[in-house]
Structure 1
Amino acid sequence: MDDALWAIGRGTGIAALVLFTVSVVLGIVTRSGRPLPGLPRFSITLVHRNVSLAATLFLLVHLVSLFFDPYAQLDLLDTVVPFFGSYRPFWQGLGTVGFDLVVVLVATGLLRGRLGPRTFKAIHWASYALWPIALAHAIGTGTNGTEGWFLALAAASVLVVVAACAWRLSARFIEFHSLRLGETS
Protein backbone atom coordinates (compact mmCIF):
# COMPACT_ATOMS: atom_id res chain seq x y z
CA MET A 1 0.00 0.00 0.00
CA ASP A 2 2.87 2.39 0.76
CA ASP A 3 4.20 1.99 -2.77
CA ALA A 4 0.76 2.69 -4.20
CA LEU A 5 0.40 5.90 -2.18
CA TRP A 6 3.86 7.00 -3.29
CA ALA A 7 3.04 6.28 -6.95
CA ILE A 8 -0.32 8.06 -6.71
CA GLY A 9 1.28 11.07 -5.02
CA ARG A 10 4.02 11.27 -7.63
CA GLY A 11 1.77 10.65 -10.64
CA THR A 12 -0.93 13.09 -9.61
CA GLY A 13 1.68 15.75 -8.88
CA ILE A 14 3.12 15.37 -12.37
CA ALA A 15 -0.36 15.35 -13.93
CA ALA A 16 -1.29 18.49 -11.98
CA LEU A 17 1.83 20.26 -13.21
CA VAL A 18 1.11 19.36 -16.84
CA LEU A 19 -2.51 20.46 -16.49
CA PHE A 20 -1.52 23.74 -14.80
CA THR A 21 0.86 24.34 -17.72
CA VAL A 22 -1.98 23.81 -20.19
CA SER A 23 -4.22 26.02 -18.05
CA VAL A 24 -1.75 28.92 -18.09
CA VAL A 25 -1.37 28.70 -21.86
CA LEU A 26 -5.15 28.45 -22.38
CA GLY A 27 -5.65 31.40 -20.03
CA ILE A 28 -3.40 33.49 -22.24
CA VAL A 29 -5.16 32.29 -25.40
CA THR A 30 -8.55 32.94 -23.78
CA ARG A 31 -7.54 36.53 -23.12
CA SER A 32 -6.78 37.05 -26.80
CA GLY A 33 -10.28 36.06 -27.84
CA ARG A 34 -8.91 34.17 -30.82
CA PRO A 35 -10.16 30.70 -31.64
CA LEU A 36 -7.92 27.65 -31.68
CA PRO A 37 -8.09 25.29 -34.64
CA GLY A 38 -11.26 23.27 -34.25
CA LEU A 39 -12.59 25.32 -31.32
CA PRO A 40 -14.74 28.44 -31.37
CA ARG A 41 -13.64 31.33 -29.15
CA PHE A 42 -16.13 30.66 -26.36
CA SER A 43 -14.97 27.03 -26.10
CA ILE A 44 -11.45 28.06 -25.16
CA THR A 45 -12.78 29.61 -21.96
CA LEU A 46 -14.68 26.42 -21.12
CA VAL A 47 -11.65 24.23 -21.84
CA HIS A 48 -9.47 26.56 -19.73
CA ARG A 49 -11.92 26.30 -16.84
CA ASN A 50 -12.21 22.52 -17.11
CA VAL A 51 -8.44 21.99 -17.39
CA SER A 52 -7.97 24.24 -14.34
CA LEU A 53 -10.55 22.21 -12.43
CA ALA A 54 -8.87 18.94 -13.44
CA ALA A 55 -5.47 20.33 -12.36
CA THR A 56 -6.94 21.32 -9.00
CA LEU A 57 -8.49 17.88 -8.50
CA PHE A 58 -5.18 16.18 -9.32
CA LEU A 59 -3.49 18.53 -6.85
CA LEU A 60 -5.99 17.55 -4.13
CA VAL A 61 -5.41 13.84 -4.78
CA HIS A 62 -1.65 14.56 -4.70
CA LEU A 63 -1.99 16.15 -1.26
CA VAL A 64 -4.38 13.59 0.21
CA SER A 65 -2.25 10.66 -0.93
CA LEU A 66 0.82 12.27 0.64
CA PHE A 67 -1.04 12.66 3.96
CA PHE A 68 -1.28 8.89 4.16
CA ASP A 69 2.12 8.09 2.65
CA PRO A 70 4.44 7.16 5.54
CA TYR A 71 7.46 8.37 3.60
CA ALA A 72 6.10 11.88 2.89
CA GLN A 73 4.75 12.35 6.44
CA LEU A 74 2.74 15.45 5.60
CA ASP A 75 0.40 16.95 8.13
CA LEU A 76 -2.31 19.58 7.86
CA LEU A 77 0.05 22.39 8.90
CA ASP A 78 2.31 21.57 5.93
CA THR A 79 -0.52 22.46 3.52
CA VAL A 80 -1.15 25.86 5.09
CA VAL A 81 2.11 27.18 6.53
CA PRO A 82 5.03 27.18 4.10
CA PHE A 83 8.61 26.16 4.88
CA PHE A 84 7.93 24.23 8.13
CA GLY A 85 7.87 20.73 6.65
CA SER A 86 10.38 18.13 7.74
CA TYR A 87 11.33 16.95 4.25
CA ARG A 88 13.18 19.49 2.10
CA PRO A 89 11.44 22.42 3.83
CA PHE A 90 12.21 25.03 1.17
CA TRP A 91 10.97 22.95 -1.77
CA GLN A 92 8.01 21.61 0.17
CA GLY A 93 7.26 25.18 1.25
CA LEU A 94 7.06 26.20 -2.40
CA GLY A 95 4.43 23.50 -2.82
CA THR A 96 2.53 24.95 0.13
CA VAL A 97 2.70 28.45 -1.36
CA GLY A 98 1.48 27.01 -4.67
CA PHE A 99 -1.41 25.23 -2.97
CA ASP A 100 -2.35 28.38 -1.07
CA LEU A 101 -2.40 30.29 -4.37
CA VAL A 102 -4.63 27.61 -5.91
CA VAL A 103 -7.05 28.01 -2.99
CA VAL A 104 -7.15 31.78 -3.60
CA LEU A 105 -7.65 31.30 -7.35
CA VAL A 106 -10.43 28.76 -6.85
CA ALA A 107 -12.16 30.99 -4.29
CA THR A 108 -12.00 34.03 -6.57
CA GLY A 109 -13.16 31.90 -9.49
CA LEU A 110 -16.21 30.86 -7.49
CA LEU A 111 -16.83 34.46 -6.39
CA ARG A 112 -16.10 36.01 -9.77
CA GLY A 113 -19.58 37.45 -10.18
CA ARG A 114 -19.45 39.13 -6.79
CA LEU A 115 -15.89 40.45 -7.09
CA GLY A 116 -16.22 42.27 -10.37
CA PRO A 117 -13.95 41.92 -13.37
CA ARG A 118 -11.15 44.22 -12.18
CA THR A 119 -10.73 42.56 -8.81
CA PHE A 120 -10.99 39.09 -10.34
CA LYS A 121 -8.39 39.94 -12.96
CA ALA A 122 -6.01 41.46 -10.40
CA ILE A 123 -6.19 38.39 -8.18
CA HIS A 124 -6.09 36.01 -11.14
CA TRP A 125 -2.66 37.38 -12.06
CA ALA A 126 -1.44 35.19 -9.17
CA SER A 127 -1.61 32.28 -11.61
CA TYR A 128 1.49 33.71 -13.27
CA ALA A 129 3.27 33.25 -9.93
CA LEU A 130 1.68 29.88 -9.18
CA TRP A 131 3.03 28.09 -12.22
CA PRO A 132 6.79 28.67 -11.73
CA ILE A 133 6.42 28.01 -8.00
CA ALA A 134 4.76 24.67 -8.74
CA LEU A 135 7.45 23.82 -11.28
CA ALA A 136 10.25 24.63 -8.82
CA HIS A 137 8.48 22.55 -6.15
CA ALA A 138 8.28 19.58 -8.54
CA ILE A 139 11.95 19.78 -9.45
CA GLY A 140 13.15 20.33 -5.89
CA THR A 141 10.88 17.93 -4.02
CA GLY A 142 9.74 15.42 -6.59
CA THR A 143 11.17 11.92 -6.58
CA ASN A 144 11.83 12.26 -10.31
CA GLY A 145 12.61 15.98 -10.21
CA THR A 146 16.17 15.63 -11.47
CA GLU A 147 15.70 12.70 -13.85
CA GLY A 148 16.20 13.35 -17.55
CA TRP A 149 12.63 12.61 -18.65
CA PHE A 150 11.19 14.94 -16.02
CA LEU A 151 13.66 17.71 -16.78
CA ALA A 152 12.71 17.36 -20.47
CA LEU A 153 9.03 17.63 -19.50
CA ALA A 154 9.83 20.67 -17.34
CA ALA A 155 11.85 22.27 -20.15
CA ALA A 156 9.02 21.69 -22.64
CA SER A 157 6.56 23.22 -20.15
CA VAL A 158 8.80 26.25 -19.68
CA LEU A 159 9.18 26.65 -23.43
CA VAL A 160 5.42 26.56 -24.03
CA VAL A 161 4.61 29.00 -21.21
CA VAL A 162 7.42 31.40 -22.12
CA ALA A 163 6.30 31.35 -25.78
CA ALA A 164 2.71 32.08 -24.73
CA CYS A 165 3.85 34.89 -22.41
CA ALA A 166 6.08 36.36 -25.14
CA TRP A 167 3.12 36.31 -27.53
CA ARG A 168 0.95 37.90 -24.81
CA LEU A 169 3.47 40.74 -24.42
CA SER A 170 4.06 41.19 -28.15
CA ALA A 171 2.44 43.72 -30.44
CA ARG A 172 0.70 40.83 -32.28
CA PHE A 173 -1.45 40.08 -29.22
CA ILE A 174 -4.92 41.61 -29.48
CA GLU A 175 -7.10 41.33 -26.42
CA PHE A 176 -10.68 40.14 -26.64
CA HIS A 177 -11.88 43.57 -25.53
CA SER A 178 -10.28 45.14 -28.61
CA LEU A 179 -11.78 42.52 -30.91
CA ARG A 180 -15.27 43.25 -29.62
CA LEU A 181 -14.88 46.96 -30.21
CA GLY A 182 -13.38 46.48 -33.65
CA GLU A 183 -10.12 48.15 -32.62
CA THR A 184 -6.67 47.08 -33.72
CA SER A 185 -3.37 47.65 -32.06
Structure 2
Amino acid sequence: MNETTPLLWLLNRSTGLSLTLALSASVALGVLTLRGHAGGDGGARLPRFVTRSLHRNVAIGALALLVAHVVTAVADTYVDIRWWQAVVPWGGTYEPLWLGLGALALDLLVAVAVTTALRGRLGYRGWRLVHLSSWLAWVAAVAHGVMIGTDLGAPPRWVSWAAAPTLAGIALVASSLAYRVLARPRRSTTAPRPLDALAGGR
Protein backbone atom coordinates (compact mmCIF):
# COMPACT_ATOMS: atom_id res chain seq x y z
CA MET A 1 0.00 0.00 0.00
CA ASN A 2 2.42 2.65 -1.20
CA GLU A 3 0.43 4.17 -4.02
CA THR A 4 -1.99 7.03 -3.85
CA THR A 5 -4.64 8.38 -6.15
CA PRO A 6 -3.87 12.06 -6.79
CA LEU A 7 -7.56 12.93 -6.66
CA LEU A 8 -7.98 11.26 -3.27
CA TRP A 9 -4.89 13.02 -1.91
CA LEU A 10 -6.14 16.37 -3.20
CA LEU A 11 -9.60 15.83 -1.74
CA ASN A 12 -8.22 14.67 1.57
CA ARG A 13 -5.88 17.63 1.98
CA SER A 14 -8.35 20.22 0.70
CA THR A 15 -11.15 18.98 2.94
CA GLY A 16 -8.76 18.85 5.90
CA LEU A 17 -7.56 22.42 5.40
CA SER A 18 -11.08 23.67 4.71
CA LEU A 19 -12.29 21.84 7.80
CA THR A 20 -9.70 23.58 9.97
CA LEU A 21 -10.83 26.96 8.71
CA ALA A 22 -14.55 26.15 9.00
CA LEU A 23 -14.18 24.73 12.49
CA SER A 24 -12.20 27.81 13.54
CA ALA A 25 -14.90 30.08 12.13
CA SER A 26 -17.57 28.12 13.98
CA VAL A 27 -15.68 28.38 17.27
CA ALA A 28 -15.11 32.11 16.72
CA LEU A 29 -18.81 32.69 16.01
CA GLY A 30 -19.69 30.68 19.09
CA VAL A 31 -17.46 32.92 21.20
CA LEU A 32 -19.07 36.04 19.75
CA THR A 33 -22.56 34.69 20.40
CA LEU A 34 -21.92 34.15 24.11
CA ARG A 35 -23.82 36.51 26.39
CA GLY A 36 -24.81 38.81 23.62
CA HIS A 37 -21.33 39.99 22.66
CA ALA A 38 -22.20 39.42 19.04
CA GLY A 39 -25.26 41.56 19.02
CA GLY A 40 -27.68 43.57 21.04
CA ASP A 41 -25.26 44.38 23.87
CA GLY A 42 -22.22 46.52 24.26
CA GLY A 43 -22.47 48.28 20.93
CA ALA A 44 -22.19 45.12 18.84
CA ARG A 45 -22.77 45.44 15.12
CA LEU A 46 -24.63 42.20 14.33
CA PRO A 47 -27.85 40.95 15.95
CA ARG A 48 -27.31 37.90 18.09
CA PHE A 49 -29.67 35.73 16.04
CA VAL A 50 -27.52 36.41 12.97
CA THR A 51 -24.33 35.08 14.56
CA ARG A 52 -26.23 32.15 16.04
CA SER A 53 -27.52 31.23 12.60
CA LEU A 54 -24.07 31.65 11.06
CA HIS A 55 -22.53 29.59 13.86
CA ARG A 56 -25.00 26.75 13.26
CA ASN A 57 -24.66 26.78 9.48
CA VAL A 58 -20.86 26.93 9.54
CA ALA A 59 -20.82 24.06 12.05
CA ILE A 60 -23.02 21.97 9.74
CA GLY A 61 -20.66 22.72 6.87
CA ALA A 62 -17.71 21.69 9.04
CA LEU A 63 -19.39 18.35 9.78
CA ALA A 64 -19.89 17.74 6.06
CA LEU A 65 -16.20 18.48 5.45
CA LEU A 66 -15.31 16.17 8.32
CA VAL A 67 -17.19 13.27 6.71
CA ALA A 68 -15.50 13.90 3.36
CA HIS A 69 -12.08 14.16 5.03
CA VAL A 70 -12.47 10.86 6.87
CA VAL A 71 -13.82 9.01 3.82
CA THR A 72 -10.95 10.15 1.58
CA ALA A 73 -8.36 9.37 4.28
CA VAL A 74 -9.63 5.81 4.64
CA ALA A 75 -10.06 5.31 0.89
CA ASP A 76 -6.55 6.52 0.06
CA THR A 77 -4.21 3.51 0.27
CA TYR A 78 -0.96 5.51 0.43
CA VAL A 79 -1.03 5.05 4.20
CA ASP A 80 -2.82 2.34 6.14
CA ILE A 81 -5.70 4.06 7.92
CA ARG A 82 -8.61 1.79 8.74
CA TRP A 83 -12.13 3.11 9.22
CA TRP A 84 -12.15 2.34 12.94
CA GLN A 85 -8.95 4.32 13.45
CA ALA A 86 -10.89 7.41 12.40
CA VAL A 87 -13.11 7.11 15.47
CA VAL A 88 -10.91 5.34 18.05
CA PRO A 89 -8.17 7.65 19.40
CA TRP A 90 -5.68 4.83 19.97
CA GLY A 91 -4.27 1.85 18.11
CA GLY A 92 -3.39 3.64 14.90
CA THR A 93 -0.48 2.32 12.86
CA TYR A 94 0.30 5.55 11.00
CA GLU A 95 1.39 8.53 13.14
CA PRO A 96 -0.61 7.12 16.07
CA LEU A 97 -0.47 10.24 18.28
CA TRP A 98 -1.55 12.73 15.63
CA LEU A 99 -4.05 10.33 14.06
CA GLY A 100 -5.45 9.74 17.53
CA LEU A 101 -5.92 13.47 18.03
CA GLY A 102 -7.87 13.60 14.79
CA ALA A 103 -10.10 10.75 15.98
CA LEU A 104 -10.58 12.53 19.31
CA ALA A 105 -11.63 15.70 17.50
CA LEU A 106 -14.12 13.70 15.43
CA ASP A 107 -15.62 12.02 18.50
CA LEU A 108 -16.01 15.32 20.33
CA LEU A 109 -17.58 17.05 17.34
CA VAL A 110 -20.08 14.22 16.90
CA ALA A 111 -20.94 14.46 20.62
CA VAL A 112 -21.46 18.21 20.29
CA ALA A 113 -23.66 17.75 17.22
CA VAL A 114 -25.80 15.02 18.84
CA THR A 115 -26.28 16.91 22.12
CA THR A 116 -27.17 20.07 20.19
CA ALA A 117 -29.85 18.15 18.32
CA LEU A 118 -31.16 16.87 21.69
CA ARG A 119 -30.72 20.16 23.51
CA GLY A 120 -34.39 20.41 24.40
CA ARG A 121 -34.22 17.11 26.27
CA LEU A 122 -30.83 17.63 27.90
CA GLY A 123 -31.42 21.08 29.29
CA TYR A 124 -29.07 24.02 29.10
CA ARG A 125 -26.50 22.83 31.64
CA GLY A 126 -26.03 19.39 30.12
CA TRP A 127 -25.85 20.81 26.61
CA ARG A 128 -23.38 23.52 27.58
CA LEU A 129 -21.10 21.07 29.39
CA VAL A 130 -20.72 18.97 26.26
CA HIS A 131 -20.64 22.01 23.96
CA LEU A 132 -17.57 23.36 25.75
CA SER A 133 -15.66 20.29 24.56
CA SER A 134 -15.66 21.88 21.10
CA TRP A 135 -12.64 23.85 22.34
CA LEU A 136 -10.73 20.63 22.92
CA ALA A 137 -11.92 19.37 19.53
CA TRP A 138 -10.59 22.52 17.88
CA VAL A 139 -7.17 22.23 19.56
CA ALA A 140 -6.94 18.53 18.69
CA ALA A 141 -7.97 19.19 15.09
CA VAL A 142 -5.39 21.94 14.61
CA ALA A 143 -2.62 19.79 16.11
CA HIS A 144 -3.71 16.85 13.96
CA GLY A 145 -3.61 18.92 10.79
CA VAL A 146 -0.27 20.55 11.52
CA MET A 147 1.57 17.41 12.55
CA ILE A 148 0.13 14.85 10.14
CA GLY A 149 -0.23 17.06 7.07
CA THR A 150 2.26 15.85 4.49
CA ASP A 151 2.30 19.19 2.68
CA LEU A 152 3.26 21.27 5.69
CA GLY A 153 6.86 20.15 5.47
CA ALA A 154 9.36 19.38 8.21
CA PRO A 155 9.56 21.64 11.28
CA PRO A 156 9.20 24.56 11.31
CA ARG A 157 5.80 23.80 9.81
CA TRP A 158 4.76 27.32 8.87
CA VAL A 159 6.63 27.70 5.58
CA SER A 160 4.09 26.12 3.21
CA TRP A 161 1.06 27.52 1.43
CA ALA A 162 -0.94 24.89 3.32
CA ALA A 163 -0.21 26.71 6.58
CA ALA A 164 -2.32 29.71 5.50
CA PRO A 165 -5.76 28.22 6.37
CA THR A 166 -4.49 27.01 9.75
CA LEU A 167 -2.95 30.38 10.59
CA ALA A 168 -6.11 32.14 9.46
CA GLY A 169 -8.20 29.85 11.66
CA ILE A 170 -6.03 30.47 14.71
CA ALA A 171 -6.21 34.21 14.03
CA LEU A 172 -10.03 34.03 13.81
CA VAL A 173 -10.37 32.32 17.17
CA ALA A 174 -7.82 34.60 18.85
CA SER A 175 -9.52 37.69 17.44
CA SER A 176 -12.94 36.57 18.65
CA LEU A 177 -11.59 35.99 22.15
CA ALA A 178 -9.89 39.39 22.17
CA TYR A 179 -13.06 41.10 20.95
CA ARG A 180 -15.18 39.41 23.57
CA VAL A 181 -12.85 40.52 26.34
CA LEU A 182 -12.49 44.08 25.09
CA ALA A 183 -16.20 44.51 24.31
CA ARG A 184 -17.37 43.25 27.68
CA PRO A 185 -19.61 45.91 29.25
CA ARG A 186 -17.95 47.64 32.16
CA ARG A 187 -19.80 48.03 35.38
CA SER A 188 -20.04 51.57 36.65
CA THR A 189 -18.01 52.22 39.78
CA THR A 190 -20.07 55.30 40.65
CA ALA A 191 -23.04 54.65 42.91
CA PRO A 192 -26.35 55.86 41.48
CA ARG A 193 -27.66 59.07 42.99
CA PRO A 194 -30.60 58.69 45.38
CA LEU A 195 -34.00 59.65 44.04
CA ASP A 196 -34.36 62.40 46.62
CA ALA A 197 -31.12 63.97 45.42
CA LEU A 198 -32.45 63.99 41.89
CA ALA A 199 -35.58 65.67 43.21
CA GLY A 200 -33.63 68.57 44.59
CA GLY A 201 -32.42 67.19 47.89
CA ARG A 202 -35.84 66.86 49.44
Gaps of 5+ in 1: 175-182
Distance 1:133 1:22 in 2: 16
Within the candidate set 80, 83, 89, 1:76 is matched to 83
Instruction: Report how many residues are paired.
Output: 175
CA shift for structure 1 position 184: 5.7
Distance 1:21 1:171 in 2: 20
Kept in 2, the 8 Å contact 1:32–1:173? The answer is no
Name the structure with the higher helix share.
1
Q: Residue 5 in 1 paired to residue 8 in 2?
A: yes
Larger Rg: 2
Distance 2:147 2:108 in 1: 19
Within the candidate set 13, 17, 26, 1:14 is matched to 17
Distance 1:63 1:153 in 2: 19
Q: Which moved more, 1:23-32 or 1:149-158?
A: 149-158
Distance 1:115 1:83 in 2: 29
Kept in 1, the 8 Å contact 2:17–2:166? The answer is no
CA shift for structure 1 position 162: 2.1
Aligned twin of 1:51: 58
Within the candidate set 100, 115, 119, 2:126 is matched to 119
Q: Which amino acid aligns with 1:92?
A: L
Aligned twin of 2:172: 160
Distance 1:93 1:72 in 2: 15
Quote the RMSD (CA, aligned, Å). 2.1
Q: Residue 139 in 1 paired to residue 146 in 2?
A: yes
Aligned twin of 2:163: 151
Gaps of 5+ in 2: 189-202
Aligned twin of 2:200: none
Q: Which amino acid aligns with 2:176?
A: A
Aligned twin of 1:180: none
Q: Report matched runs for 1:73-112 at 5 Å.
A: 73-112=80-119
Runs of at least 4 residues of structure 1 off by over 3 A? none
